[in-house]
Amino acid sequence: MNQQDYIALEDQYGAHNYHPLPVVLARGEGAKVWDTDGKEYFDFLSAYSAVNQGHCHPKIVGAMVEQAQTLTLTSRAFHNDQLGKYEKFVCDYFGFDKVLPMNTGAEAVETAIKLARKWAYEVSGIPENEAQIIVCENNFHGRTTTIISFSNDENARRSFGPYTDGFIRIAYDDLDALKAALEANKGRVAGFLVEPIQGEAGVYVPSEGYLKGAKELCEQYGTLFIADEVQTGISRTGKRLAVDHENVKPDILILGKAISGGVYPVSAVLADNAVMNVIKPGQHGSTFGGNPVAAAVAMAALTVAEEENLAERAEELGQKFRSELGKYIKQSQIAKLVRGKGLLNAVVINDHEESDTAWNICMRMAEKGLLAKPTHGNIIRFAPPLVISEQDLMRGVNIITETLKEFEGVAQGHVPMQEVNHPEHVEQV
C-alpha cells in the first residue's frame, strides 16, 4: 500500500471529523517520525503537546508493556496495586491532596465542572442549579456537549444544540472583565475556568500578572480558580505547569495529554480535600479511569519529565527558537511575529484567517521534512517534543525560514512592510 491507499481507506471508512495533512506516519522516535515510505520528519506538533517526552520513550513504553502483561483493567469495583501508588505520586508531584483519574482531556474538564458545581452547592452555599462558571472567549477545553456549549467556535458548536446552561464568557487576559463578571454574579459563581496560555486559539500568552490577578480575584469572591493545563502542563512552557510562571496554585488543576507521554489516554483532576471531598461513591466515575496501565504509564511519563529536565530544556530551547526565528521574521512580509512560552510557540502568517497560505506553508514544510499544522487559519503552532536536540531544533528553524522565504509576497492581499511589522517581532514572554 502507498500513502494514497492509506488515506483513501480513512476517507472511505472514517468519519470526516479531521482534515489531516496528507502524510501517513508509521514510526516515531524522540522528536522524529517516519512515513510509510521511510521519509523522515521533525515532529513540530507533538500530537498537540501529548508527546512532550518524545515518541516511544523506552521508559514509558517499557512501563506500559510490563504492566500490560501483568494486569490491565480491574474497573474501580476493586482496588488495584498501581492506582494508590500513582495517586500518591501525582499528588506529591503537583502538590495537591487528591486526584480524580480519568482518560481524556475533555473528560477531565467535565469532571472539573461537576466538581466545581458540587462544591458550590454543598460547601459554598450557592442555591441549587444556579451556579455559574466563568470561561474565556476563544477557549478550547474539548468536544463534549457541555464543553462546546461554552465555546465561541461556531464550527465546533453549530447544530449540536441544545446547549448546557451555566456559563458566562468573558474576554481572555482581561482582569477587569473577570472582576465585573464576578461582581455582577456575586454569590453564584462556582469557578473561573481558564487556559494559562490559549493553545488551540493560536498560542495566546496572557499579560504578565494575569494568572496571579485572576487567582486573587477568585479568592476575593470565594470562587474556584480552575486551570486547564491539558496542553500547557508537563513542562511544555518551561515550567512543570504554566501557572508556575506566576507561582499560582489552582484550586482545581486539569491535566491530560503529556501526563502519559502520549502512549496511552490518561487525564487527571487534582484538588485539595476541601474541594475533592464533595465527591462520594457513585457520584462520578469511568470504567478505564485509574486503570493499572494508565497509572504505571503516568508515573513513568512524569518521572521522565523530571529526570530529563524537560522544563528547563523547554525554557532554554524556546528562547533560542523565538530569537532565531525572530531574526528572520523581522524582515519578513509573510510572517508577522512569533510568540509563545517555552516550546509552545506560534508564527502568525500575514494573511486573513480564511486564507490557505498557512496550510500551504505547512504542506511545503512537510515536503522539506517538518510537520506542523495551522491552528485557526493564519497561525502555525510549533511545539516539538521537549527532548529535541538543539541541533535538530535549529534544523527545524532552517526549514521554517527556508519555506517562509518561498512564500514571501505570495499571500493574498498582503499589506506593505511598514504595516506588517509588529513593534516587537518577537513577543518575549
Ligand X SMILES: *Cc1c(COP(=O)(O)O)cnc(C)c1O
> 44 or 221, CB closer to ligand X?
44
d(CA 348, CA 355): 12
List Cα–Cα distances, 94 to 19, 58, 88, 301, in angstroms: 35, 24, 10, 14
Whether 186 sits among the annotated catalytic residues: the reply is no
CB 116, CB 252: distance < 8 Å:
yes
> 43 or 228, CB closer to ligand X?
228
> 31 or 201, CB closer to ligand X?
201
Q: Which residue is nearest to ligand X (CB)?
A: 105
Shortest Cβ 220–ligand X spacing (Å): 25
Residues 347-406 close enough to bind ligand X by CB under 6 A: none
Encode burial over 357-385: b for 16+ CB neighbours within 10 A, e otherwise.
bbbbbbebbbeeebbbbbbbbbbbbbbbb
CB 381, CB 203: distance < 8 Å:
yes
Catalytic residue of the set 44, 94, 140, 382: 140
Q: Is the preceding omega at residue 162 within 30 degrees of 0, hence cis? A: yes
By CB under 6 A, which span of 1-9, 99-107, 152-160, 219-227 interacts with ligand X? 99-107
Shortest Cβ 138–ligand X spacing (Å): 12
d(CA 238, CA 232): 9
Binding-site size for ligand X (CB under 6 A) equals 15
Residues 254-293 close enough to bind ligand X by CB under 6 A: 256
Residues 45-74 close enough to bind ligand X by CB under 6 A: 48
Each residue 15-44 as x (binds ligand X by CB under 6 A) or -, in order, gives ------------------------------
Catalytic residue of the set 32, 215, 239, 257: 257
For ligand X, the binding residue among 51, 227, 230, 379 (CB under 6 A) is: 230
Shortest Cβ 214–ligand X spacing (Å): 16
Please name which of 254, 301, 232 lies closest in space to residue 86, comparing C-alpha atoms.
301
231 is a contact residue toward ligand X (CB under 6 A): yes
Whether 257 sits among the annotated catalytic residues: the reply is yes
> For 54, what's the count of Cα atoms within 13 Å in the CB-facing half-sphere?
18
Each residue 103-142 as x (binds ligand X by CB under 6 A) or -, in order, gives -xxx--x------------------------------xxx
> 259 or 334, CB closer to ligand X?
259
Shortest Cβ 113–ligand X spacing (Å): 12
Catalytic residue of the set 94, 215, 228, 373: 228
> 141 or 336, CB closer to ligand X?
141
- Give 401: exposed, middle or buried? Use CB within 10 Å, 0-12, 13-18, 19+: middle
206 is a contact residue toward ligand X (CB under 6 A): no
Shortest Cβ 297–ligand X spacing (Å): 15
Each residue 173-202 as x (binds ligand X by CB under 6 A) or -, in order, gives ----------------------x---xx--
Q: How many C-beta neighbours within 10 Å does residue 59 have?
A: 15
> 332 or 375, CB closer to ligand X?
375
Joined together, the cell numbers standing for residue 73 give 483493567
> 32 or 381, CB closer to ligand X?
381
List Cα–Cα distances, 112 to 14, 142, 144, 252, 254, in angstroms: 31, 13, 13, 7, 7
**∠68-260-359 over CA atoms, to 5°?**
125
Shortest Cβ 183–ligand X spacing (Å): 27
Shortest Cβ 222–ligand X spacing (Å): 25
| Alpha carbon distance, N-terminus to C-terminus of the chain | 46
> 109 or 304, CB closer to ligand X?
109
List Cα–Cα distances, 165 to 5, 132, 180, 275, 344, in angstroms: 44, 8, 20, 22, 32
User: In 126-254, which residue ranges form alpha helices assigned H by DSSP?
Assistant: 145-149, 154-157, 175-184, 210-220
User: According to the 3-state scheme, what is the secondary structure of 294-336?
Assistant: HHHHHHHHHHHHHHCCHHHHHHHHHHHHHHHHHHHHCCCCCEE
Contacts with ligand X by CB under 6 A lie at 48, 104-106, 109, 140-142, 195, 199-200, 228, 230-231, 256
Indicate which residues carry an active-site annotation: 140, 228, 257
